[in-house]
Amino acid sequence: MLRADVPSVAVACPHVSALVGAMIAHRGQSVFCRQKARVGRVTTTGAPRPVTGWRWRAALGRVDRFLLAILGTVALASVLPARGEASHVVGDLADAVVALLFFLYGARLAPRAAWEGLRSWRLHLTVFLATFALFPVIGLAARVLEPTVLPPGLYFGVLFLCLLPSTVQSSIAFTAIGRGNVPAAICAATVSNLAGVVVTPLLAALLLGSRVDVSAGSVLRIAAQLLAPFALGQLARPWIGATLERHRAATGLVDRGSVLIVVYSAFSAGVVAGVWGQVTVGRVLCVIGVDAVILAVVLTATTYGSRRLGFPIEDRIVVTFCGSKKSIATGIPMATVLFAHRDVSLIVLPAMLYHQLQLMVCAALARRYDRRAPEPEPASATALEVEPRVESASRAEPAWPA
C-alpha cells in the first residue's frame, strides 16, 4: 500500500516523497540484511554458518557519524556532567571554540565570492524572509500545541528554533552537492548567520517578551562572541587563507568539535539542574514530530515559492537549502545569553533534533537535485574559481556538515 501511494505523494510534494522513498529503501535494506543473516555464509563443506556482527556493521555504516557523536555527547553529559568549577571551565571553553569557529568562517570567506553572490539581491531577500519571517509565523502557529502536546518549556524551544539564523557549512555543502549557485549560497548563508546576531534577539524580545533577557548588553555580548571573531578572520585572511584551504579537514574538525562542546555544556547544565526528570520519551517524540512538520512545510514553501518567483534551478537550490536550515552552533551560544536566568537544555532540545532532521532530509534532497539538475553554466570567471573548491570539499565529507 505504501509503494502504491508514492507516485501521488511525489506529485503533491517531492520532499515528502524523497523522505518516504528513503524510508522504503531503508526497510528494503533491513529485510535484505535479515534474509542474508538467516541464510548465512556457505562453508567449503556446503553447511551454512551464522553471520555474526554483519547486521550491526551494516547498520552502523548507514548511521550518520555526526549524529552518533551528538548522541554520545548527550550521554556523556548525562553520566558525567560538568559541576562546580568544571562547569565554568566548560562554559568558557564553549565560548572560545565558537569564537574560533566564526574566526575561521571569516578567514575562509573570499571577498570576491561574497561580491559575486551579492549580485542576486532578490535571492538573498527571499532567503532572509524564509529564515526570519516564514519560520517565526510557523512557530507562532505551533502555539496551539501548548500545553497538550508540548509543555511550555519545549514550546519556547520550538519558537526559539524558528528565530535562529541559517547554517553556513551545511548550506554551502548541500548546494554544491546539488550543483546549485555556490557563490550565492556562500553569501546568503553568511549574511543570514551574521544578521541573526541582531535579528534573533530582537525577534525573541518581540515574541517571547519577559522570558528572554534582551538588552543592549546582551546584544553586544553576542556580537562580541560572533561578529568580532568573524571580522578578525577577514582581516587575517591574506595571511592564513591559503593555509586553511590546504587543511580543510582540520577546519572541519573545529566545525564539528565546537558543536559538540556547546552541546555538552548546555546538557550538563540541564542534568545538574534536574531538568531531564521533567521530559518523557513521549514528549521527545512529539518534538521530533513537530520539527519534522516544520521542516516539511518550509522545504515545500521555499521550493515552490522560488519557482513561482522565476528563479533558475541553481538559485532555487540555494533558496531551498539556505532558507530551511537552522544553526545550533550559533543558536546555543545565543540561548545561553538570552535565557541567562533559565535552564537552556530544554530550550535548545528542539533545535538539536531539528538539526539532525535537516541533515538527513537535505542530504537525500541534494542527491535528488544532483541527479536531475542540468549542469550549471558559469556566469563568470569568479564563479568558476569558487565553485570547484567548495564542491570538492563538500563531496569529500558530505555527512559531516556542522
- Cβ count within 10 A of residue 70: 22
Residue 28 counted as domain residue: no
Residue 372 counted as domain residue: yes
pLDDT digits (tens, 9 = 90+) for 326-376: 988 888 888 888 887 776 778 888 998 898 788 888 888 988 888 864 554
Q: What CATH number is associated with residue 375? A: 1.20.1530.20
pLDDT computed for residue 95 by the predictor = 83
Residue 13 counted as domain residue: no
Domain that holds residue 101: 67-396
pLDDT computed for residue 52 by the predictor = 46
Cell reading at 5: 501511494
pLDDT digits (tens, 9 = 90+) for 305-314: 999 999 999 9
The confidence band for 114, taking pLDDT boundaries of 50, 70 and 90, is low
Residue 94 counted as domain residue: yes
- Provide the domain count of the chain: 1
Residue 31 counted as domain residue: no
Residue 50 counted as domain residue: no
Indicate whether this model's pTM tops 0.75.
Answer: no
Q: What percent of the chain has pLDDT over 90?
A: 22
What's the start-to-end Cα distance of the chain, in Å? 37
**Mean pLDDT computed over every residue of the chain:** 76
How far apart, in whole angstroms, are the C-alpha atoms of residue 153 and residue 354? 16
pLDDT computed for residue 291 by the predictor = 95
pLDDT digits (tens, 9 = 90+) for 185-228: 888 888 888 899 899 999 998 998 777 777 777 778 888 878 88
The confidence band for 288, taking pLDDT boundaries of 50, 70 and 90, is very high
Strand, helix or coil for residue 86: helix
C-beta separation of 323 from 191 below 8 A: no
Long-range contacts of 397-401 (CB under 8 A, 24+ apart): 397/249, 397/252, 398/173, 398/174, 398/177, 398/363, 398/366, 399/64, 399/65, 399/66, 399/359, 399/363, 400/65, 400/66, 400/252, 400/256, 401/66, 401/167, 401/169, 401/170, 401/173, 401/174, 401/255, 401/359
Residue 261 counted as domain residue: yes
pLDDT computed for residue 39 by the predictor = 39
Residue 7 counted as domain residue: no
Residue 334's identity, in one-letter code, is: M
